[in-house]
């Protein structure tokens, strides 16, 4: 996979670290809202093994309106700092608005993580103009920052495959480099818990399209409802699903807890024979 001229290759699944520049994100509730905290989080993520850092300025959930200008003001200083601090790091921007994408790509971002499935028709031409990567997501037709009402699918994975591959094809037609496009089934977006579980168990069908797959399910509601655990108790379930997903060919996982996720994907890769042990010493002499 090559994103904005940056080759991303590992002997394990890649890791996209989450750093939210919002005061009201669903998981961290503003832990990286302050600029210094965001810098520290990026430093920690890189040290823990993140391959990509994803920066967002607007929560996915319903809430107070965030204007485009506010979104740019929240995220742009962090992109500038991270680009200077880590020249070789792949920087992703979690945005669905073309104007914000343009402003952030202009200062060094590499990948547009458009969780709202091309809602802004100008986002693909903007991404193409900068030669950046693009995440083609599935939302079941939702508009940005809305929740579904009794979503229904005959075959949810068939819908995911149809929508994401069509969006990927649209991106290529707009000039986005094909080697930098990923598909995201977008767990919980436009889906209830049963739908999300069905998507997770059918990931090989999405992988079989040939496009790299990004799984973004870190600490999401599907884990909470499946295990009946609170928000701070979702790590074990997240890592279990992550292990299954990468063993089935998922190329990248989006994560809040980078260290634990890295250990999980490395263990899967070593069991599969793709990665040697870091230190095989016992009874080797």
Residues 134 and 148: their CA atoms lie apart, in Å, by 24
Q: Are 151 and 173 in contact (CB under 8 A)?
A: no
Predicted local distance difference test score (pLDDT) of residue 159: 98
Q: Are 60 and 27 in contact (CB under 8 A)?
A: no
SS3 3: strand
Predicted local distance difference test score (pLDDT) of residue 38: 95
Global model pTM greater than 0.75: yes
Q: Give Cβ neighbours of residue 256 (< 8 Å, ≥ 6 apart).
A: 17, 18, 27, 28, 218, 219
Residue with more model confidence, 198 or 29? 198
SS3 254: strand
Predicted local distance difference test score (pLDDT) of residue 231: 94
Predicted local distance difference test score (pLDDT) of residue 147: 87
Strand 181-184 relative to strand 133-137, pairing: parallel
Angle at 11 between CA 206 and CA 38, to 5 degrees: 85
Dihedral angle computed from the Cα positions of residues 85, 56, 179 and 195, in that order, rounded to the nearest 10 degrees: 140
Residues 67 and 210: their CA atoms lie apart, in Å, by 36
Predicted local distance difference test score (pLDDT) of residue 175: 98
Rounded to the nearest angstrom, the gap between the alpha carbon of residue 201 and the centroid of all alpha carbons in its chain is 19
Band of residue 63 on the pLDDT scale cut at 50, 70, 90: confident
Q: Is residue 26 over pLDDT 90? A: no
Band of residue 25 on the pLDDT scale cut at 50, 70, 90: confident
SS3 92: strand
In this predicted model, what pLDDT tens digit does every residue of 213-258 receive, in sequence order?
A: 999 999 999 999 999 999 999 999 999 999 999 999 999 999 999 9
DSSP 231: G
Q: Residue 16 to residues 54, 113, 139, 163, 218: CA-CA distances in angstroms?
A: 6, 11, 20, 23, 11
In this predicted model, what pLDDT tens digit does every residue of 85-118 receive, in sequence order?
A: 999 999 999 999 999 999 999 999 999 999 999 9
- For domain 2-272, the CATH class is alpha beta
State the average pLDDT for the chain: 96
Predicted local distance difference test score (pLDDT) of residue 31: 84
Domain boundaries defined on the chain: 2-272
What average pLDDT does the segment 108-130 reach? 97
Strand 6-7 relative to strand 2-3, pairing: antiparallel
Predicted local distance difference test score (pLDDT) of residue 23: 84
Predicted local distance difference test score (pLDDT) of residue 121: 95
What average pLDDT does the segment 256-262 reach? 98
Predicted local distance difference test score (pLDDT) of residue 61: 85
Residue with more model confidence, 28 or 168? 168
In this predicted model, what pLDDT tens digit does every residue of 148-185 receive, in sequence order?
A: 889 999 999 999 999 999 999 999 999 999 999 999 99
Q: Report residue 281 as tokens.
A: 């010493």
């Amino acid at each position: 996979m090559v994103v904005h001229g940056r080759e991303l290759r590992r002997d394990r699944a890649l890791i996209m670290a989450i750093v939210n520049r919002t005061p009201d994100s669903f998981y961290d509730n503003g832990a990286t809202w302050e600029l210094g905290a965001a810098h520290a989080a990026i430093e920690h993520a890189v040290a823990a093994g993140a391959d990509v850092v994803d920066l967002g300025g607007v929560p996915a959930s319903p809430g107070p309106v965030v204007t485009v200008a506010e979104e740019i003001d929240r995220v742009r200083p962090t992109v500038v700092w991270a680009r200077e601090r880590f020249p070789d790091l792949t920087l992703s921007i979690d945005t669905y608005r073309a104007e914000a994408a343009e402003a952030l790509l202009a200062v060094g971002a590499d990948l547009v993580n458009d969780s709202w499935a091309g809602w802004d028709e100008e986002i693909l031409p903007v991404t193409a103009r900068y030669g950046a990567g693009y995440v083609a997501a599935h939302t079941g037709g939702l508009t940005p920052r809305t929740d579904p009402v009794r979503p229904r699918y005959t075959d949810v994975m068939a819908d995911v495959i149809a929508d994401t591959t069509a969006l990927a094809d649209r991106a290529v037609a707009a000039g986005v480099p094909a080697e930098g496009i990923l598909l995201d089934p977008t767990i919980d977006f436009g889906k209830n818990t049963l739908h999300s579980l069905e998507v997770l168990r059918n990931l090989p069908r999405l992988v079989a399209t040939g496009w790299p797959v990004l799984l973004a399910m870190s600490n999401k509601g599907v884990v909470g409802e499946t295990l009946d655990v609170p928000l701070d108790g979702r790590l074990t379930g997240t890592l279990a699903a992550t292990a299954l997903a990468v063993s089935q060919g998922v190329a990248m996982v989006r994560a809040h807890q980078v260290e634990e996720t890295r250990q999980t994907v490395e263990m899967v890769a070593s069991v599969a024979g793709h990665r040697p042990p870091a230190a095989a010493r016992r009874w080797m002499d």
